[in-house]
Each structure stands twice: as structure tokens, then as C-alpha cells.
Amino acid sequence: MKNKLMSIIVIFTICLFKIPFIVKIDAKSIRSNSSDPFVIGAIVDMSSRVGKEARVAMEIAIDDFRAKTNQNLTLYTTNSKGNIVQAIHEATYLIETHKVEAILGLHTLKEVVSVAEVCSEAQVPTFSLFDSVPQWALDQWAPFLFQASPSQFSQTKAFVAILESYGWSRFTFIYEDTNSASTQIIPHLMEAIKESSTVEISSIVKLSPLSSSFSLPKELERISKEQCRVFLLHSSLETGVRLFQNAKNMGMMEKGYVWITTSLITDLLHTLNSSTFSTMEGVLGIGSFFSQFDEFTTKFQKKFKLEQPEEEENNIPGVFAVQAYDATLIVASLQFVDQKPIASHIFPIINVIGKYYRELGFWSEGLGFSEFINEKTTYDTCLKSLGYIFWPGKPLHTPIGWAIPTNANPLRVGVPTMAMFKKFVEVKYDHKNHNLTYKGYSIELFKETIKLLPYYLPYEFHPFNGTYDSLVEQVYLKKFDVIVGDVSVVSRRYKYAEFTHPYTETGLVMIVPVTSYHGQWLFVKPFTLSMWALTILINIYNAFVIWLIEHKNTPEIGGSALNRTGILLSLAFTRMFFTNGDEVHSNLTRMTTVAWLLAAIIIGQCYTASLTSMLTVKRLIPKVADFETLKNGNAVVGYGQGAHVASYLVDVLGFKNRNIRAFTSPEGYARALKNREISAVFLEAPFTKLFLAKYCKSFITAGPTFGDGGFAFVLPKGSPMVADFTKALLNVSESGTLQEIERRMIGSEKCVEMDSDHDEYESLGLGSFWSLLVLTNVKKYFVNPRKRISRKVSDHHHAGNAIHAYDGHQQEQFSPCCHVTNGSHERYADGLGFLGIYGLDLDRTLDVIGSGSWSFSLQRLQIFWYDGSSIWLYLGYVFDGFGLVNWL
């Protein structure tokens, strides 16, 4: 006896995990040496259709088991009459009188709990056909209480999938509060909603099992005035039928309504008569799945018709009959093979049409909707794939899921009246119509967002004159339902309300006056570093080529390595200025010079054009680079009156209260900045665009962008509309409407500084070129130090055709190739002026004419000049009879 009981317990331990089985009995798998009869007791409510089907199914299961195994098996069935006391009495009777080894049945939680207590004390296993046995009950009476039917809680996921198929975001949940088990579906429903993130409950309606003909219509009337038109009904069949009858009488089974039932009703639809179906036309149902096997169906219909002649109109077995059949076979078997799990997460979808219903298909968890259940089935995430559905009222199109409520109060929308930038929010009194008008970017955006909500939402604007923190608190005080305007998302405001996703840029920006700037290295900016390097290398290369060609014919460019290097560098940067082609001896040199000069002209013109554009276009920089400079200098800064910026400046950035000043208009900002009453102003990023668009010449942003949440709509804490508004805002943005509103409302701001002082021509000062001047003078000081004869000239003379010059320390002698006809150097022995000329061309002569007049036939000259303190060497070029040119 104990061995049999333990075997049964082991077998039904699987049921603790709520995995039912279709059992195939194999005679070889049953102990053939068992001579003791196995007695099973059954407690069902014979006054209900469920109880009648269960009893017939159990009897068929016992007959099939005996026929296949030749085992001695006995079934005793008793009637609880739906009464708890009677159920306890029948359980005691079966245990004490018939010595049953297991008890089946029990379709209600009250019966399960009551009988489980009796069976636990007697150590008799109890197998409940109730599909929602609470876990606490299974734990309390373990290991003698089992749930023999699969759990139907996963049907909530199928329901959510249906709503997602049609874009219905809200529904009303109606349930019958018969016992604690009836409410167990709620947490599963909430979990399914949480996983979806696009579906939410609009309201929950609790029905009493004793709902009178007065209270039920009253509840229906209340929900009919709401805007949600999608209903999920979780109740007994009797309550559901009464509800649909009242709903039809009240016009709630017409176009626009959606009714969906759970398995509590759907699994028993086959027991209803045609007149009842007419009141439920258009209802969508989620049922329990079980495999259809013709042999059991034929036996059931024949036996049920004989034993229950009053049910002759409908003798098709329901899911409860199949569950009772399977549970009986499991209990009867000491062991079983070929266990094939029933798909407890598969649910048929039915649609009530006319006087009966049709099966549309199935929903499988993790797979989706399908027309059939087999290995070749294809799945779809949308219910529409199963074909056309008849909705209540037979509409041509799928209901939208909501309607304009008949008693809905409009939303009270608070609007700030002290907005600084009227392009965002402006509240004005219309003297013509004697009412207030509300305009601006935020207002227009709110209107477009309302249009894209999945339900109708009337609203009314109401002005508010106060700080923005006080405005947000009005939502917490339930004086406003929504806040629309230039309200920033700030963490401390979350104590009173919630915000949608920001619809503007985020950040806090510092604005300061501008000043023009040209850097001291501006002259090198036209070319990049690589361009400068390439230009220098090309010049040196071309000079080297010319030197290589000419050095054999021109001894003057020879000499020491140092001299050759100097000549090479001189050629690199002066050859482009040569004007006399006779001084070169090779056509190759002339060709190289022409190519070189062409490149130099093009590069030079590009350099000139680029530098000109840089000098023409102003470079505006902020007068103050960062807020730390302002803070450390105790500078006064501005902000918008009533905004949260004041606390940010003091608490976060560290400004002193006496150094911050409030303003009520952008004109006040601009005037104070120009008059140097304040050094900077801090604005939210959306305001910065408007301010700089209006004052486009005088001000500029400076420093980093500080943390700020941007502008958003404000709603009550926990409001389900937050997600709807955020989604609608995203749709407005993605459709391009947001950009269009911004262009129309904000982009129309015009600059008012057409005659700004900054447009006048600005002269270039020493600061723009000091680096160039320094480099030039440093070069003169270091290059060719021996050519600079300084301080004092004590004597100068010529011997023959030589010119001598010395400063008392070192004498330099130059051997000219030219002939001096007038000792002009002697004329200037007593003071300043010309000392001498040194000719470099050997085939030319120089005639020095008196009275300071000179005529030259040389091409290249070195001129010595005394300035009173130093003797300078100048290099120049001449044409016959025209004088000195191209001085270097």
C-alpha cells in the first residue's frame, strides 16, 4: 500500500511544476503481479456542467485503463453539490468507508483547501482539477496536495500580445472576486504588462459574485463614461453571461467596443445555447489548449448523452473533461512511459460569431500567433495574421480602443505668465474677445502632442504668475493636471511631479560680450605647417639647381663651404626678384628661373588672398573665457527671474548672492552687458539660441556647457500619461513636425544689431606683427656679424684701387674691380654718408662723378654707408644709366 502511494506521489511531483501530460498506457509497464485493488475517490459538483463532464471523463479513463492493463481498479464518485461542508463529508466518507488511496476532483479553491486538510491528516494524496491552487496551499499540505491541471496564468501574456497587435495601449480589467485565487491572476497580468512596456491598465473593476441586477449595470454605466473601450473579463461563466446581457442592453456591445474573455469563460462556451451567443457576438476569447483525440471524443459524447440527457443539445467535451481524463489515468498508473508534455503555454484564440464561435488559431509563448500547432507551423507576432475578426457591432474597421468620454473633465493645464522669452510662452489678454490667449513654441508643441495620444484628451489653459518651482508644486497640490511652458527638468522638482522626455536642448550656457582679435602669428596662418615646409624646401632645391649650373662660370658664388651655403640660401629667397637675365650664363638656369618664378607668383598670390580674407573677416572671442575668472573677480552676473538658475549659480558654481542679478527680459540682459553693469549672463540652452539670434553682433558663448535638464511637460507623479506623452513627443519629433514648429516659432527671430560698432574697420596694431618684427631684427643681428662695422670710424682711405675701412680694432680691405675717378670717400671723412662701392662684375667699370652724382655700368654692387655709429653693407643692382634699384 505504501509503495503504491509513494509511486503516485513521485509521479505527481511533476504536477507541482504544473506540467500536465497526455498519458499513453502500456500494459507491459504496469505491475502484473499486483492483486490488491487500487481504489480512487472523486469529489465533483454534479450540479455544474464542469462536474458532470469530469465524472464522465473519469469513468472513461478507468474503463480504458482496465481494458489495456487488466488491473483491478475501482472508482468511487461523490457529489459535493458545490458545498464546502458536503465536500468535507464526502472526503471523510471516501477515506473511512472505501479506503481510497487518492482523491480527485475539487474544482473550487474552497473545496481544495477544506478537503486537503482532511486528506493530509489521513495521508491520502489529493489531486485538484482547480487550475489556480495558491502556492501557499501547495506548501502547507505538501506532499499530499497536487495541482493536476495546468496553470492558465500565462494567458495574460497572450492577452497583452493581442493588445499590441492592434496598438491598444490601455484596457479595463474586470474580475469577479469569488476567492483569493481569482485575484491571483492580477500579479501575473501586471508582470505581462511590465514586460510589454506599451500596455497599461486604465482601471480595475471588481465584481461581487452576488452582484445584483442593480449593481452590475451601475458598474457598467460607470466604465462606459470613461474613454477606454477595451475590456478584459475574468469571471465565472454565470457572471459573464449576466454581464454581457446587461452590456448589450446598455449599448456596450456596439461599434467601438472590444471584449476579451479569459479561459474561465472561454473554456465553457461550448455549454451555452444559441440565444446566449447572440448577446456575446464579437467577443474574443482566450482558452485552454488540449489535444483533440477522436476516440475519447466519441466515447464521451455517447456516454455523456446517456448519463446527462438534459444536456443533449451540447455533448462536446470541454477542457475540464480532458484534464479529468488525464489526471485519472496518471493516478491509476504506478508508472508511465512516453510522457509527452502538454503545451501549457499554448492558448487557442476564439471569436464569437452569430450563434456559435470559431477558433481563429493559437498563441504560443515565445513564438506568437499561428493557425495550427504542428512542426511546420509558421508564427507571427500580430493577431491580424489569423484573418478577419468580427468585433461587437460588426464594424468595417478594427476599433481604435478609445472614445471621447461623456463625463470627462478637461485637463487643467498651467502656463507660466512670467516667461522671459515670449517666443516660447506668451500669455496675453485679448481685448477684442475679452479672454486670454496662449501662444509660443511650447504651446504649439503641446497641441501637436495631444493630437498623437492614443486617446482623446480635452484640456484648458490656466495662467500662473509665480516662480517656476511654485508652478511645479501646483501639480502636487492637484491644482493643475499638466504644466506647459519653459519649465526645466530639475532633480528637486521630482518631489512634486514627473517630467516627460525633454523636447529642447539641455544645458546651461554663459554668454559674454565679444571682442575682435588678430594673433601675432597671423602672417603664417594662410599656409599650413606642411605647406610652409614644402615651399621652403622647393626654394632651397631650386637655388641649389641654379648654383649647380652656374658655379663653374661664376667664381663669385664659390669659395668656402660657409660662403657657398650663404649664397645658396640667398639665392633660395632672392632669385625670384632678379630682373636682369644677362647675369646668368646658361639657358637651363633661365628655364629653371622661369618655372620657379611662375610657381612663386601663384603661391604668393594665394598667400596674399588668404591673408586678406583673414584680415577682412573678424575673429570674435569672448572677453571672459570661463566662469572661474568672473567668480574670483567678484563680477556680477545675470539670470532669468523666477528660474532655477539662481540656485545653480550659488549652490553649484559658487557665486555669491550679492553678485547675481535677476532680469525679466532679454533686452535687459543686453543693455546691462553693454553698459558693463554685469559681466556675463547664464541662460538655458534653448534661450541661448534666441538671445544670440537677436543680438548676433555683440555677444558670444563662453566656457563649458553646464548640466541642465532642458524643457519638458510636467505631469503628476505616477501618472500613466507620462509614457504616452513621451511617446507622442518622439512621434512629433520623428515626423518632422517639431522642426517645423521650431522654424516657425523660434527661427523667425531677427538680429537687431545691423549697425553694430564691431562692423567698423579695425586697424592692425603692433600686436599683430610684433613676432614678425622681432624675428626680422634678430636675424639682422646674427647674420654676417663681420659685415657690421660698429661704433667709430677713425680712418678710411684708398690705396690704388682698394678701399679700406676699420673701427680702430680690425681693418677690412676690399679689392674692387672698378676704377674710382673721384676720391669721394675723402669728402665724407669728417661725417656721415657714403664710404665706397665694391663692384662684383669683373668685366664692368665704375665712374664716380663729383658732387654726389654717379653713373654706373655695373650690374651688382656692394655699397658701404656710415650712419654715425656703424658702417652698413648694402647689396643692390643697377641698370646702365638708371641708378640703384632693388636694395636689400
**Residue 332, helix vs strand vs coil:** helix
Sheet holding 145-147, edge to edge: 73-79, 38-44, 102-105, 126-128, 145-147
pLDDT at residue 613, rounded to an integer: 74
d(CA 415, CA 417): 6
**CB contact at 8 A, 161 and 381:** yes
Q: Answer whether residue 502 shows pLDDT above 70.
A: yes
Q: DSSP secondary structure string, 511-537?
A: EEEEEE---TTGGGTTS-HHHHHHHHH
Q: Rounded mean pLDDT of 492-516?
A: 89
Which residues of the chain form CATH 3.40.50.2300?
2-147, 155-261+269-288+343-386
pLDDT at residue 42, rounded to an integer: 92
d(CA 499, CA 869): 82
H helix intervals, 375-440: none
CA 872 to chain centre: 74
For 352, phi then psi, to 5°, come to -75, 120
Cell numbers for 39: 481504489
Topology of the domain comprising 2-147: Rossmann fold (3.40.50)
Sheet holding 811-814, edge to edge: 795-799, 802-806, 811-814
pLDDT at residue 840, rounded to an integer: 45
| 155-261+269-288+343-386 CATH pick, 3.40.50.620, 3.40.600.10, 3.40.50.2300, 3.40.50.300 | 3.40.50.2300
Q: Rounded mean pLDDT of 168-192?
A: 81
* Residues 365-382 pLDDT 10s: 889 999 988 888 899 999
Cell numbers for 473: 508644486
Q: Answer whether residue 844 shows pLDDT above 60.
A: no
* Residues 627-644 pLDDT 10s: 888 888 889 999 988 778
Binned at pLDDT 50, 70 and 90, residue 225 comes out as confident
498 or 270: whose pLDDT is higher? 498
Q: For residue 584, give Cα distances in angstroms to 226, 261, 335, 575, 859.
A: 103, 107, 118, 11, 12
pLDDT at residue 773, rounded to an integer: 53
Q: Answer whether residue 782 shows pLDDT above 50.
A: no
Q: Answer whether residue 813 shows pLDDT above 70.
A: no
**CB contact at 8 A, 283 and 161:** no
pLDDT at residue 524, rounded to an integer: 78
- Top-tier CATH class for 411-487: alpha beta
Cis peptide before 143 (omega within 30 of 0): yes
For 185, phi then psi, to 5°, come to -70, -20
Which residues of the chain form CATH 3.40.190.10?
411-487
d(CA 43, CA 29): 28
Neighbours of 509 (CB within 10 A): 23
Give the up-direction half-sphere exposure of residue 571: CA atoms within 13 A in the CB hemisphere: 26
Dihedral (CA of 650, 655, 660, 664) sign: negative
> In the chain, how long is the greatest CA-to-CA distance?
161
Binned at pLDDT 50, 70 and 90, residue 749 comes out as confident
Residue of 846, 805, 786, 848 whose CA lies nearest to 823: 848
d(CA 840, CA 817): 7
d(CA 308, CA 513): 96
* Residues 119-143 pLDDT 10s: 989 989 888 888 777 778 888 888 8
**324-333, 437-446, 839-848: range with lowest mean pLDDT:** 839-848
pLDDT at residue 819, rounded to an integer: 36
d(CA 543, CA 596): 9
Please list, in sequence order, all residues whose beta carbon lies within 8 angstroms of the beta carbon of residue 871, skipping any fewer than 6 positions away. 788, 789, 790, 793, 805, 807, 835, 864, 865
Cell numbers for 50: 464542469
Binned at pLDDT 50, 70 and 90, residue 383 comes out as very high
Q: Answer whether residue 96 shows pLDDT above 80.
A: yes
User: How large is the angle between the packed helices 319-332 and 294-307, nearest 10 degrees?
Assistant: 100
* Residues 20-30 pLDDT 10s: 333 443 433 34
Q: Answer whether residue 572 shows pLDDT above 70.
A: no
User: How large a percentage of the chain has pLDDT more than 90?
Assistant: 22
pLDDT at residue 227, rounded to an integer: 82
CA 195 to chain centre: 19
Q: Answer whether residue 108 shows pLDDT above 70.
A: yes
**CB contact at 8 A, 84 and 110:** yes
**CB contact at 8 A, 668 and 726:** no
363 or 516: whose pLDDT is higher? 363
Task: State pTM to two decimals.
Answer: 0.52
CA 455 to chain centre: 24
**Residue 476, helix vs strand vs coil:** helix
Please list, in sequence order, all residues whose beta carbon lies within 8 angstroms of the beta carbon of residue 225, skipping any fewer than 6 positions away. 405, 406, 407, 408
Please list, in sequence order, all residues whose beta carbon lies within 8 angstroms of the beta carbon of residue 229, skipping any fewer than 6 positions away. 256, 257, 258, 399, 400, 401, 402, 403
For 795, phi then psi, to 5°, come to -165, 150
Question: Between the ranges 411-425, 752-766, 863-877, where is the mean pLDDT highest?
Answer: 411-425
Binned at pLDDT 50, 70 and 90, residue 745 comes out as confident
d(CA 103, CA 117): 13
